[in-house]
Structure 1
Amino acid sequence: MFRSKYRYVFVILLAAYSLVNILWVVGDKLFEFSVPTSFLFLLLLQVIIVTWELNRLVENNLHKLRGLAGEKIHPLVILFLLSQLNAVIAALTGLGTAYIALGHDSAWSIEHYKLMVAFAFRVNLFLNCINAIYFFLQKSRDAEVRAEQFKKDSIEARFEALRNQINPHFLFNCLNALSNLVYKDADTSARFIAQLSNVYRYLLYSQERKIVSLQEELEFIDSYVYLLKIRFGENISISKHITTDADKFHIAPATLQMLIENAIKHNIVSGKSPLRINITSMNGSITVANNLQEKKVKEASAYVGLKNIKKRYEFLSTKPVEITKTKNEFIVKVPLVQVDHT
């Protein structure tokens, strides 16, 4: 609030209100000398401006002050505590101006100081109350905007996931591989059909869910990897090393599948240049890494799937999705989600 572009309009209105209030209760008579009304207004205006601007200075540096005081302390508490000192400074400047301008050097008294400090504290308390209301209203509006954005991103992510997952080309390739298997190996073709069924059953089952257990996701990936191995053979290698308790952690549905699909989509997969994908878990996160051998002709999607995964995890975890691209490797680190069932 203190950074509002309309702050000086608010300051003038508050000074005018304070003047009317003081004159109404004959507060100006508390001084032992006559105070012109115009000067009293300017004096009140000065105290309010100094209080406001000092509070604005504190507000602008709250991120630094929170680093010193500790992240657990609410920013409004830090602002209010420091604003008390600002009020004292504003009162001293106002009192000094009054006695210098009016020429009452001999009339300094503790009562006059108390009057000015009391006024500064009242103004400061009022400003902090208004600022707190503004702060929480802004937080509420931001939460509403974020909620709407989350809905939009979720819908976009769902369509992107479906576009990647229930991909006509993927289904065509699976059916094409199956047609070659049917006459060569009946047992393998039967297992292929079972694994394909598992993949689509999981995709349909998880469409409306925000998160699934890591164990469910890994079981789905086993079926998905089986289909890829039939399709690409030795041209692709996908390994898993999971040390995390898969039943206790959760993940957004089909996250691993989208990352594997992303690696296949943007890299060469051939006998001369086999694609190696490693899935590992450590310290509350799961990592999908692949050797980097990018196609010369880029896919039109421009990593839309990765962008959607990052947006989804902004709402699922306080930890971000980390994407690292080196000369020889592309790595995506996804935070795992713990659900409190108590």
Structure 2
Amino acid sequence: MNSYKDRTLRLIGPLVVFMIGSLFFRLNIYFEHDLPFIIRFQSIAIIYGYICWNLSRWVILTIQKRYPGFHRTRQRLKYIALAFPLLVHIAYFLRYFTHLYINDQPIGWPTLADYTYTTGIQIFYHCIYVGVYEGLYVFEQWKIVYYEREKLLNIQWQERFDSLKSQINPHFLFNSLNSLSSLIREQPEQAEKFLDEMSNVYRYLLRNNEQELVSLQTELQFVESYFHLLKTRYGESIQLKLENLSGYEQYLLPPLTLQILLENAVKHNIILKDQPLVIQIYVEKGYLVVQNNVQKKNLKVVSNKVGLNNIITKYQLLKQPEPVIESDAVFFIIRIPLIGNEYIYTKIIDIAHQH
């Protein structure tokens, strides 16, 4: 609790408690006694209100200093509970004997009715004291724990995100080198061209894989370059159709998403001149749709679904809607949510708040 808030509470708090007590517990005094008695009675009430407020404050802050932190709340409450009856009775007897002295009455023990009634009032007051200081302290400690946990979670998610990105580079390189090896054996004249295009694509991959998001326009430019590699190998047996993409170029998605999906389609389907693999990319209802005709290979392809799982996990880490996968005997379709620029603005604001 900052010093300004503490000073404000110490100044205003007892006055508020005094007014509540006068309204709900001591209103009869104004109708049953004369003005001098009312002045004496209420003066004692407000003076000891400040004394008891600050005494309770000192005890609670001392316990908080001895047992700090959100995780020690139970310990603090235990010691506050032990100190609570003592504080209540100190407040009761201070007021009781002061009233006897001011009203020139003989010293004696209170009646049971007076004791229970006034003690009940003091219990109410001290619940307010404890609620104010321990309640505010617990809330502030909870906020610290919450933001630290959020910060740690963001760090963990970022590490997982970076780990996912690092998996893509070796995966892409391995498949590209396999393709190059096949070309060297089967089509040596195409191998040099393939190597040049692979260098361009890999340069792009290294540069953009460090980013969390890229624009659809950037991703499409990369996919066209990547498709040249596939086209070099498969010729007219593979086709790529880009449709209905105008106006969506500045929307965002994780880098290399389309490359993974194209690679997935190539891996699992027959690609022949009389059975061409047709891949379509278009936008529908805010989703980037990647669709290919299903021509499953006769030999079962071993798949651990790393590529698709990487895409889904990236969207989870970005706290965005997950991609939707639809598959039947004719088409395999995956719908990728396009992320608007407001995501960037929201993240900037979150980072600013954390600092």
Q: Same fold judged by TM-score > 0.5?
A: yes
Tell whether the 8 Å contact from 1:192 to 1:227 is kept in structure 2 after alignment. Answer: yes
Q: 1:28 to 1:265 in 2, by over 3 A?
A: farther
Q: Tell me, what secondary structure is at the counterpart of 1:144?
A: helix
2:129 equivalent among 104, 109, 122: 122
Q: Deviations over 1:279-328 (max 9, x none)?
A: 2234554232334455552424x112222223333344x32322323334
Q: 1:305 to 1:136 in 2, by over 3 A?
A: farther
How many Å separate the matches in 2 of 1:21 and 1:274? 86
Q: Tell me, what secondary structure is at the counterpart of 2:178?
A: helix
Q: Tell me, what secondary structure is at the counterpart of 1:253?
A: coil
Q: Which amino acid aligns with 1:157?
A: L
Question: How far is the alpha carbon of 1:162 from its aligned partner?
Answer: 0.8
> Where in structure 1 are there 5+ consecutive unaligned residues?
33-101
Q: 1:8 to 1:194 in 2, by over 3 A?
A: closer
2:159 equivalent among 151, 176, 184: 151
How many Å separate the matches in 2 of 1:30 and 1:235? 97
Q: Deviations over 1:209-255 (max 9, x none)?
A: 33333222111100111221232234433222243545533332212
Correspondence 1:239 to 2:241: yes
How many Å separate the matches in 2 of 1:6 and 1:266? 57
2:207 equivalent among 197, 205, 208: 205
Q: Deviations over 1:248-278 (max 9, x none)?
A: 3333221210122123223444456543322
Residue number in structure 2 paired with 1:286: 288
Q: 1:21 to 1:120 in 2, by over 3 A?
A: closer
Tell whether the 8 Å contact from 1:251 to 1:337 is kept in structure 2 after alignment. Answer: no
How many Å separate the matches in 1 of 2:127 and 2:289? 56
Residue number in structure 2 paired with 1:47: none
Q: 1:137 to 1:242 in 2, by over 3 A?
A: farther
Tell whether the 8 Å contact from 2:280 to 2:292 is kept in structure 1 after alignment. Answer: yes
How many Å separate the matches in 2 of 1:20 and 1:278? 78
Residue number in structure 1 paired with 2:10: none
TM-score by length of 1: 0.60
Q: 1:280 to 1:219 in 2, by over 3 A?
A: same
How many Å separate the matches in 1 of 2:340 and 2:220? 15
2:176 equivalent among 170, 174, 183: 170
1:52-67 alignment to 2 at 5 Å?
none
1:17-166 alignment to 2 at 5 Å?
17-23=83-89, 26-29=90-93, 104=113, 115-125=122-132, 126-154=134-162, 156-166=163-173
Tell whether the 8 Å contact from 2:323 to 2:335 is kept in structure 1 after alignment. Answer: yes
Question: How far is the alpha carbon of 1:148 from its aligned partner?
Answer: 3.0
Q: State the aligned residue count.
A: 259
Q: Tell me, what secondary structure is at the counterpart of 1:331?
A: strand
Q: Which amino acid aligns with 1:14?
A: I
Q: 1:164 to 1:250 in 2, by over 3 A?
A: same
How many Å separate the matches in 2 of 1:241 and 1:123? 66
How many Å separate the matches in 1 of 2:295 and 2:93? 85
Q: Which amino acid aligns with 1:120?
A: C
Tell whether the 8 Å contact from 1:213 to 1:247 is kept in structure 2 after alignment. Answer: yes
Q: Deviations over 1:92-135 (max 9, x none)?
A: xxxxxxxxxx985x9997x7776444333333332353034224
How many Å separate the matches in 2 of 1:283 and 1:136? 41
Query: Rg bigger for which structure?
Result: 2
Q: Which amino acid aligns with 1:15?
A: A
Tell whether the 8 Å contact from 2:292 to 2:333 is kept in structure 1 after alignment. Answer: yes
How many Å separate the matches in 1 of 2:137 and 2:243? 54
TM-score by length of 2: 0.58
Q: Deviations over 1:9-38 (max 9, x none)?
A: 554333113234434xx1233898xxxxxx
Q: Which amino acid aligns with 1:237?
A: Q
Q: Tell me, what secondary structure is at the counterpart of 1:196?
A: helix
How many Å separate the matches in 2 of 1:30 and 1:10? 26
Tell whether the 8 Å contact from 2:257 to 2:311 is kept in structure 1 after alignment. Answer: yes
Q: 1:22 to 1:112 in 2, by over 3 A?
A: closer
How many Å separate the matches in 1 of 2:85 and 2:136? 20
Correspondence 1:336 to 2:336: no
Q: Which amino acid aligns with 2:327?
A: T
How many Å separate the matches in 2 of 1:272 and 1:231? 16
Q: Which amino acid aligns with 2:320?
A: K
Question: How far is the alpha carbon of 1:161 from its aligned partner?
Answer: 0.7
Tell whether the 8 Å contact from 2:88 to 2:123 is kept in structure 1 after alignment. Answer: no
How many Å separate the matches in 1 of 2:197 and 2:323? 31
RMSD (CA atoms): 4.0
Residue number in structure 1 paired with 2:66: none
1:13 equivalent among 72, 75, 79: 79
Query: Percent identical across equivalent pairs?
Result: 24
How many Å separate the matches in 2 of 1:208 and 1:307? 19
